[in-house]
Amino acid sequence: MKNRKLYVKYLGLLASLFFIHMFAFAQSAADKINMANEALKAEDFNKAFELYDEALKNLGDVQVDESINFNVGYTAYKAGKFKEAIEYFNKAVEADINVSKSWEYKALCFNELQDYTNAVDCFVKAAEKDSEGGASLYYNAAITAYKGNLAVMAADLFAKTVELGYKAETAQYYKALALKKQGDLGAYKQALADGVDKFPADKKLSEALVNEYVKDANELYKKGVEILNAVNRKVNNGSLTTAEDAYTEEVKKAKAEFQSAKEILEKAVKIDSEDENAKKLLEACNQSLAL
């Protein structure tokens, strides 16, 4: 009987200790969350995250609203703990809390981790969930894709941004550059030309297009000069005379190149009448055509 009383007393002591421990444990989690809230207000993000993280991993019977996951994710992001932040933003998305913003901050975290493919994907998901259409988020996705050398994705996303009218001139310019990154020079020039038509006052687009026109025209001009130089060498060494049809035919070929160059340069000067390279080369073409 005595042993039985001791055993019951021992069980009662264990239960009391367990209750006291759980009460202290729960109180500790709640206290840590309160301290984390204060640290967050003070912008002590490292301390705030450590307290939040410890509390949420040892909640016991403490009940917390699932919206806290977004706050903890944000705190981790500001503390530079990007992998940890992603975990909490995932929980926020699962709980349907600040979904668009959670995807956006996940994108920012992946960006910091230089995981550009996942960053682009998260920006796009943020845009799709955004109540205002997500134009700025599509633009951020495009910039991230361009930065990460994801040229095809970048071109498509910049095109989407142009359609939505968000920073359209800059988006059109970078769409062109993304096409150039793909090695599609024809599409690059066409994108610049489309941009100049839509946004004639934009200097980046007009300067880039004029430069391309001058380069193309210069190649044609040099080809024409080479044809003339070659036929004139034949005249100088006596193997051909200027009276022969062969000579006339070569001069015609050269002038066709000069004419093609002139037509391109006229488009360049129409866009920018002050471009010195275009003006000088156009003058050289006109002089060659007058021969």
Supply 97's token pair: 């809390």
The answer to whether residues 116 and 144 touch, using CB atoms and an 8 Å cutoff, is yes
Q: Is 183 left (phi over 0), alpha (psi -120 to 50) or beta?
A: left
| CA 38 to chain CA mean position, Å | 36
Supply 202's token pair: 């934009």
Maximum mean pLDDT: which of 14-18, 25-29, 209-213 = 209-213
Q: Euclidean distance between the first and final Cα of the chain, in Å?
A: 130
Identity at 100, one-letter amino acid code? S
Averaged pLDDT, 48-54: 93
190-219 pLDDT per residue, tens: 999 999 999 999 999 999 999 999 999 999
- Measured CA to CA, the distance from residue 259 to residue 265 in angstroms comes to 10
234-288 pLDDT per residue, tens: 999 999 999 999 999 999 999 999 999 999 999 999 999 999 999 999 999 999 9
The answer to whether residues 179 and 189 touch, using CB atoms and an 8 Å cutoff, is no
Averaged pLDDT, 154-168: 98
The pLDDT of residue 65 is 87
Q: Give kind and range of the element (H or E) at residue 25.
A: helix 2-41
**Reported confidence tier of residue 25, pLDDT bands at 50, 70, 90:** very low
Lowest average pLDDT, out of 17-21, 75-79, 142-146, goes to 17-21
Averaged pLDDT, 160-164: 97
Q: Give kind and range of the element (H or E) at residue 148.
A: none
Supply 281's token pair: 């080369």
Q: Is the pLDDT of residue 18 over 90?
A: no
Averaged pLDDT, 26-49: 88
The answer to whether residues 168 and 161 touch, using CB atoms and an 8 Å cutoff, is yes
Mean of per-residue pLDDT scores for the chain: 90
98-114: burial string, b at 16+ Cβ within 10 Å, e else: bbbbbbbbbbbbbbeee
Beta carbons within 10 angstroms of residue 264's beta carbon:
23
Averaged pLDDT, 155-175: 98
- Measured CA to CA, the distance from residue 142 to residue 158 in angstroms comes to 6
